[in-house]
Amino acid sequence: MTHTSSSDCNSALIERARRCIPGGVNSPVRAFGAVGGTPPFITRAEGAFVWDAAGRRYTDYVGTWGPAILGHAHPAVLDAVCAAAKNGLSFGAPTEREIELAEESGRLMPSMEQVRLVSSGTEACMSAIRLARGATGRKLILKFEGCYHGHADALLVKAGSGLATFGQPTSAGVPPEVTQHTLTLPYNGVAQLEAAFAQHGADIACLIMEPIGGNMNFVRASVEFTRRARELCTQHGALLIYDEVMTGFRVALGGAQSVYARAIPGFVPDITVLGKVVGGGMPLAAFGGRRAVMEQLAPLGPVYQAGTLSGNPIATACGLATLREIQREGFHEQLAARTRRLVDGLKNEAARAGVPLSADCEGGLFGYFLLPELPRNYTEVARSDAQQFARLFHGLLARGIYTAPSLYEAGFVSAAHTDADIDATLEAAAQALRAL
């Protein structure tokens, strides 16, 4: 069945939303600014599908931007959330489930001897940076172009999707004094990384990186780049912060750090940042690392960090139920196989349609580019033809396939996507690619 993306219902809603919410949305990429048209207003989600206000069903590859690894409204997760809600919504006091979630996360990612729970990826990254600065007594932060670590002031420099999509290299409202201690380098640039440490090594508090750049679509850090990042941090006494908000529990049960540890024996970050899957769809994120570093946090240490909703009982119930489900035998193998089937299929269909397309995936995370070769950094991603991407996006949406409305965003497959769903997606993609 063919759909149109701008139904009367959705158009009426976005017009109404624009009157009372800036741009009509509560997070910029949802406004479809980069692709044009009207965003579907979602009324319901179940399994691999979302439904809009006009009652149209879409196969969903946004997956609420990552948390929905089990698919939407998984029964075991819903049961856990409803049971928790009956006992109260928020206590602002310690609960046993916080311990369970910290223990479980640390068991799956042993680099995290201790874990602190917060409410969003932005908060987790911001707190991890403060911790690294407090623990090292240094000021400089090293980050990479196209990597997004939330919207804390000091991190809004060349930060990929959202900013990239809207052509803002940084944000208004952030004084230069606030970002003067943030050094930004090209992703995968080993020589530039070495030069930065040679020049500033003694002042660098931390290097923060996405192991797979998921806010410039899907760009892998090379093994050599990751190895050098680890070695240089160790050599110069800087902390390596691995932002696994997108990759954590999604690309593998042990996160991207377990994937890179296969190629770099003994590889571990100093601090890991988690979000999305760890909260299963509720506002929950975390950061964790070695005990000696984590114990710099208040109330034990001098680095202050706090939150009324941190470790919220509903969010921890949701996260725990999700983490338990993804530990079922063969979960990630099957998820990876489905994602691979999608990515290989897209490449085949593009080749048949004569459209240059490259694509990559790891576990349940994927990306595709209207470029003949996979890009290695933000500059190469930005060579994509944004208009052609928008046409492909709308070709898919009109055929009931909901993908990220920006060429700088990654895609997400869930355990609820069946082979038949993937095949139907590929059939829609074949038509949309031929129509380009």
Kindly list the catalytic residues. Answer: 148, 243, 276
* Run of H or E residues at 138: none
Toward ligand HOZ, which CB reaches closer, 218 or 225? 218
Phi, psi angle pair for 367, to nearest 5° = -155, 155
Distance of alpha carbon 345 from alpha carbon 61, whole angstroms: 15
Q: Which range of residues in 27-35, 204-212, 268-276, 372-380 is near ligand HOZ by CB under 6 A?
A: 27-35
Among the listed residues 32, 65, 197, 366, the single contact to ligand HOZ using CB under 6 A: 65
According to DSSP, the β-strands at 358-362 and 365-369 are: antiparallel
30 binding ligand HOZ? (CB under 6 A): yes
Amino acid in the structure at residue 15: E
Contact characters 198-237, ligand HOZ, x per CB under 6 A = -----------------x----------------------
Toward ligand HOZ, which CB reaches closer, 150 or 289? 150
Cα-to-chain-centroid distance, residue 126: 15
Distance of alpha carbon 373 from alpha carbon 357, whole angstroms: 8
Minimum Å gap between C-beta 404 and ligand HOZ is 8
Minimum Å gap between C-beta 172 and ligand HOZ is 18
Among the listed residues 16, 27, 87, 292, the single contact to ligand HOZ using CB under 6 A: 27
Distance of alpha carbon 150 from alpha carbon 126, whole angstroms: 8
Toward ligand HOZ, which CB reaches closer, 47 or 67? 67
Q: Which range of residues in 22-30, 134-142, 328-336, 420-428 is near ligand HOZ by CB under 6 A?
A: 22-30
CA-derived radius of gyration, the chain: 21
Distance of alpha carbon 258 from alpha carbon 14, whole angstroms: 42
Number of residues that bind ligand HOZ (CB under 6 A): 8
Token pair for residue 285? 């994120």
412 binding ligand HOZ? (CB under 6 A): no
409 binding ligand HOZ? (CB under 6 A): yes
3-state SS track over 185-213: ECCCCHHHHHHHHHHHHHHEEEEEECCEE
Using CB atoms, what's the residue nearest to ligand HOZ?
Answer: 27
> 235: how many CB neighbours lie within 10 A of its CB?
10
Cis before 299 (ω within 30): yes
Minimum Å gap between C-beta 14 and ligand HOZ is 15
With vertex at residue 63, the alpha carbon angle to CA 151 and CA 110, rounded to the nearest 5 degrees, is: 70
Minimum Å gap between C-beta 272 and ligand HOZ is 18
122 binding ligand HOZ? (CB under 6 A): no
Token pair for residue 356? 């240059």
Phi, psi angle pair for 289, to nearest 5° = -175, -160
168 binding ligand HOZ? (CB under 6 A): no
320 binding ligand HOZ? (CB under 6 A): no
Token pair for residue 312? 């919220």
161 binding ligand HOZ? (CB under 6 A): yes
Minimum Å gap between C-beta 94 and ligand HOZ is 30
Minimum Å gap between C-beta 64 and ligand HOZ is 7
Minimum Å gap between C-beta 122 and ligand HOZ is 9
Residues 341-400 that bind ligand HOZ (CB under 6 A): none
Helix (H, G, I), strand (E, B) or coil at 402: strand
Q: Which residues bind ligand HOZ (CB under 6 A)?
A: 27, 29-30, 65, 161-162, 215, 409
